[in-house]
Amino acid sequence: MSITTFTELLRHPNEVVARTDDGAVRITRRDASDLVLVRAGDYEAQFEGVALASQIMRATIRHDGKMADALDELFAWIALLSPEGKAEFGAEIERLIWSATELGTYGELLNAYRSWRGTAEALADGLGELPPVEWIDVDQREALARP
């Protein structure tokens, strides 16, 4: 977090606001509490991340530490995932939730949650599982004729 003064904000507002691209900016004031200037999207992501993490943690405690059971209770859309998908989702969320809460940054946790939810939405829309990708071995590729 960078630090500047309220006077600097008043004199050069565009420069101070531009610094929020690199994170929050603490604005110090002589006779009042400091302020923090942050982009709205960053604030909303932080708020949403804390809410998601606390929701998952409370449910995990209710299920005696079994996060897989907690995730099943919280997110009905998990039923659309394959057994392997459920296991991957649970493992990824469990790995990310502890680092997110320790570091206070929730971007990776939110991205993983949104990605898995998007997968479930696609499955609900009938897109189904995609076949595995077959990679072309560079040494065995055949030359294609030009059309």
pLDDT digits 0-9 by tens, 43-82: 999 999 999 999 999 999 999 999 999 999 999 999 999 9
Read off φ and ψ for residue 26, nearest 5 degrees: -85, 130
Structure tokens at 129: 């599982």
Q: Contact, 20 vs 37, CB < 8 A? A: yes
* Domain shared by 34 and 54, yes or no: no
- At residue 69, the pLDDT reads 93
Q: Is the dihedral of CA 91, 112, 134, 84 positive or negative?
A: positive
Concatenating the DSSP letter of every residue in 80-143 gives GS-HHHHHHHHHHHHHHHHHHHHHT--HHHHHHHHHHHHHHHHHHTT--PPPPPPPPPGGGPPP
On whether residue 130 sits in a domain, the answer given is no
Q: What is the pTM of this model?
A: 0.72
Burial degree of 49 (CB within 10 A; 0-12, 13-18, 19+): buried
Residue 144 pLDDT class (50, 70, 90 cuts)? low
Q: Residue 13 maps to which CATH number? A: 3.40.1620.10
* Domain shared by 16 and 74, yes or no: no
* Domain shared by 60 and 6, yes or no: no
Gap between the Cα atoms of 73 and 8, Å rounded: 50
Residue 147 pLDDT class (50, 70, 90 cuts)? confident
* Domain shared by 75 and 96, yes or no: yes
Our count of domains for the chain comes to 2
Give the range of the structural domain holding residue 120, as residue numbers without chain letter: 41-124
